[in-house]
Amino acid sequence: MESIRSTCELYDYQVDNPSPGTILRNAFNYLNDSDPLLSSTAVITDDLDLSNKENICQNKDMSVSNLLDQWELPELKELFKKNYVDLKALAYARHEHLEELKKEIPWGLRIKFEHELFKWQKEMNTFTNDKESTNMQNLTMQKNVMDNIGSAPEGPGVSDKGAIASNNQNSDGDNVGGSQYIFEDLNTNAALSVNPEKETETFDPIPSTSREASSVVDLKSILNNYAEGRAILQLCNKGKKEIPESHKQILVDKTVDYFIQNGLKLNVTASDTISQQIKKLFPDEVVEYYFAPQGGKAPKGKLLAKFYNQIRKLKTCGLVEAKLLKRKHSKSPSEPLPEPEEDSENIKKRLKYAQEGERWEEIKTLWRSSQNYRKRMLLESNAENVVDFLKEWPAYKNPMGYTLIEIDFKLTFPDAENNIFTKWVPFSDNVLDIFKSKIKDKLCKQILEKYLNDVENISEEGKNAVILHTIHAALVPTSKRVIKSGKKKTLEKCTITDSQDSFMLTGHSITEIEEKLLRQKSRQLPVQPLLVVLLEDTLFQPKQYLVYFDNVKYKFFSVISALNCCFQILHVFNLKYPIECQAVWLFIQKFLYNIKTEYDVVLPNVTIFINELNKRINAD
């Protein structure tokens, strides 16, 4: 480890009162001598030329004094001397390290100093100041690599470290599922859409056609190209079964960097192979975080999202030729039509003209006697005709109509009728601890903190209302929606508030709720069935629970009963989840009801959230 007294220092250092320059050098040395996971985020990274830094101080013609004269900033010499800032400290300096120092520099001189320091560090190949500049530096590096290779290299041997094996075995000799694919040059057939990380904007996978040789990717060899990657592999060697949250994105970034730097396209098969290898190295990892197939639709996941977003940046900068491909439409799922019951037509007529005063138990009996006929009728109608369907079955609009929805739901999902009431207690007992670490939204964090600080005085219903309101900040929407204004359409990113308002509206009166609904309709946003919670004062004091559905208001005595009804409506009438709160409804379906349908999409944040919950519940 290098001595604090540098051989190239310009002034006498006093160890008793360490200066910013001394602290900076000590921090650098400590980080590079300690745990490799720490050194991966240290001042000096793999991408910088360390030898250039060491040579800075060996040049006898260079000194801080000379440098400041060159920069026409002689006024700073005394300040640098007082703070023990030498050439090596300047070479290692990042923006945050100089904040205290710059407070003593007048604004005019500060502007010139920052400009000259940035330019000098770039010339010395030591610049690490700013994330944005670093990203641009990486893009430039990727451009240079792509210019050098011109087109994808021939044959499987694209790396001297063997990251792309020429056979179907990885470095351990294990067969990687037998999956073969052909790598593609980035400048050929690079299918791209707006932003694959958003739920509604994904790319279309294209078969690889631009390379002759079939090869299998070896994740270990890819990671061995990077210090951060080697640190992740060390975790595996230490017996870790899951990658720390802070290092998941590093794995994605380095894998994508490797493909781009080698002029290769990270396609669907490669992403699937990599995700399976991650699972093999770290058995507790959720593979859907990295790659999530969608059953006939374009897949999702961090690997593909990162790759295509990086290509989009390169294309925006003009570094890669843009070639767009139209999205493909997948075939809608189909369901066999049930055979209608005998005399179902007459039963329908009787139900349609049933008087308000008729015994409800009798109506429920007739309802069960015509459920196949009704389901067939619904499946044969178009999704837009749900309103017309309700006119044919007006009993739904009775205040007790929710009990008829329960009958229809039980026909389709006979084993899921009471799942939510069984699973809600362990869910609500454990989810708040996950929220504390997962929720970043300021407003939701404040609500959560207020609840936790006054939990003894808040009812169970208040707790449930808090959970259903704040869960949207744990399952943050990533979709975009189309907003219509006359003939104009604009694309708008869904926010946490959008997710909350499309799922559960809160207010102090029915009038306030209906004003909110009118505002949604005025923006031509579809209003699906949703929960309504009327409050005594705050969210912690709910007093009434309703479900709004096609101008019908069903009233309930608990928020969970209302939630159950709303979920059943969506499935009985085969309605889409609102795009704004799709992740929350999908979580409720998969975790609280344990239901799978052929319409399901794979949302990695939902899969990860369920995985975290199950671990916590099973640990108890």
Q: Are 504 and 533 in contact (CB under 8 A)?
A: yes
Containing 531, the helix (H) or strand (E) segment is strand 530-535
Instruction: Categorize the per-residue pLDDT at 230 as very low, low, confident or very high, splitting at 50, 70 and 90.
Output: confident
Please say whether the beta carbons of 329 and 297 come within 8 A.
no
- Band of the pLDDT at 382, cuts 50, 70, 90? low
The conformation of residue 579, written as its DSSP 8-state character, comes to G
First to last CA, the chain: 46
Q: Which residues pair with 483 in a beta bridge?
A: 490
Residue 180 confidence (pLDDT) = 32
Higher pLDDT, 505 or 382: 505
Q: What is the pLDDT of residue 216?
A: 67
Q: Is the dihedral of CA 50, 52, 53, 54 positive or negative?
A: positive
Q: Looking at the chain, how many residues does it have? A: 620
Residue 525 confidence (pLDDT): 62
Asked if 354 contacts 321 with a C-beta cutoff of 8 angstroms, the reply is: no
Cα angle 538-524-386, degrees, rounded to a multiple of 5: 95
pLDDT of residue 600: 87
How deeply is 253 buried, as exposed, middle or buried, from its count of CB atoms within 10 A (0-12, 13-18, 19+)?
middle
pLDDT of residue 384: 55
How far apart are the C-alpha atoms of 195 and 182, rounded to whole Å?
A: 24
| 3-state secondary structure (DSSP) of residue 227 | helix
Q: Which of 550, 580, 554, 578 is nearest to 565 (CA)?
A: 554
Q: Is the pLDDT assigned to residue 50 strictly greater than 80?
A: no
Q: Are 14 and 82 in contact (CB under 8 A)?
A: no
CA nearest to 442, candidates 475, 466, 473, 471: 473
Residue 387 pLDDT class (50, 70, 90 cuts): confident
In the 8-state DSSP scheme, what is residue 358? Answer: S
DSSP-assigned beta bridge partners for residue 169: 175
Cα 283 to chain centroid distance, Å, stands at 21
Query: Which of the residue ranges 152-156, 221-225, 339-343, 408-412 has the most confident prediction, judged by mean pLDDT?
Result: 408-412
- Of 293 and 459, the structure prediction assigns the larger pLDDT to 459
Per-residue pLDDT for 141 more than 70?
A: no
Which residues touch 442 (CB under 8 Å, ≥6 apart)? none
Task: State whether residue 524 is helix, strand or coil.
Answer: coil
Q: Is residue 150's pLDDT more than 70?
A: no
Q: What is the pLDDT of residue 601?
A: 87
The whole-number pLDDT of residue 28 equals 41
Q: Using alpha carbons, list the distances in angstroms from residue 494 to 477, 480, 490, 583.
A: 6, 5, 12, 12
Residue 561's pLDDT is: 95
Contact status, residue 514 vs residue 532, Cβ threshold 8 Å: no
Q: What is the pLDDT of residues 178-218, one digit of tens each?
A: 333 333 344 433 333 333 333 333 333 333 333 322 356 88
pLDDT at 294: 78
What percent of the chain stands above pLDDT 90?
A: 24
pLDDT digits (tens, 9 = 90+) for 4-48: 333 333 333 333 444 544 444 444 444 344 433 333 333 333 333
What pLDDT does residue 540 have? Answer: 94
d(Cα 585, Cα 362) in Å, to the nearest integer?
33
Between 525 and 584, the higher pLDDT residue: 584
Q: How far is CA 21 from the centre of its chain?
A: 39
- CA 384 from centre of chain: 31
* Mean pLDDT lowest among 107-111, 121-125, 218-222: 121-125
Tokens of 94: 């990042």
The answer on pLDDT for 545 being more than 90 is yes
pLDDT confidence of residue 534: 95
Q: Kindly give, in sequence order, each residue whose CB lies less than 8 Å from that of residue 385, ignoring residues fewer than 6 positions away.
A: none
In percent, how much of the chain has pLDDT > 70? 67
- Strand segments, DSSP code E, in 81-226 are 164-165, 181-182, 214-217
Q: Residue 217: beta bridge partners?
A: 164
Model confidence pLDDT, tens digit, residues 269-317? 888 889 899 988 988 888 888 888 877 677 888 888 888 888 777 765 5
Mean pLDDT of the chain: 73
Helices (H), 336-493: 344-352, 360-368, 371-380, 386-392, 401-412, 419-438, 442-453, 460-474
pLDDT band, residue 266 (cuts 50/70/90): confident
pLDDT at 354: 67
Q: What single letter denotes the amino acid at residue 433?
A: D
Would you say residue 486 has pLDDT above 90? no
**CA–CA distances in Å: residue 584 to residues 384, 473, 496, 588, 608:** 24, 10, 11, 6, 13
d(CA 359, CA 352): 14
**Better-scored residue on pLDDT, 445 or 491:** 445
Amino acid identity, residue 93?
A: A
Residue 100 has pLDDT above 80, yes or no: no
- Separation of alpha carbons 425 and 558, rounded Å: 14
State the Cα–Cα distance between residues 447 and 467, nearest whole angstrom: 10
At 77, the pLDDT band (50, 70, 90 cuts) reads: confident
Report pLDDT for 535. Answer: 94
Average pLDDT of the residues in 511-521: 83
Residue 613's closest CA among 421, 430, 429?
430
Q: What is the mean pLDDT of residues 491-504?
A: 92
Average pLDDT over residues 441-470: 94
Which DSSP helix (H) or strand (E) runs through 491? strand 488-493
Which pTM was predicted?
0.54
Question: Which helix (H) or strand (E) is 552 found in, with range?
Answer: strand 552-556
pLDDT of residue 152: 36
Look-up of token digits 């608990």: 558
Q: What is the dihedral of CA 197, 202, 207, 210, to 10 degrees?
A: -60
Query: CA–CA separation, 485 vs 482, rounded Å?
Result: 10
Q: What is the pLDDT of residue 164?
A: 44
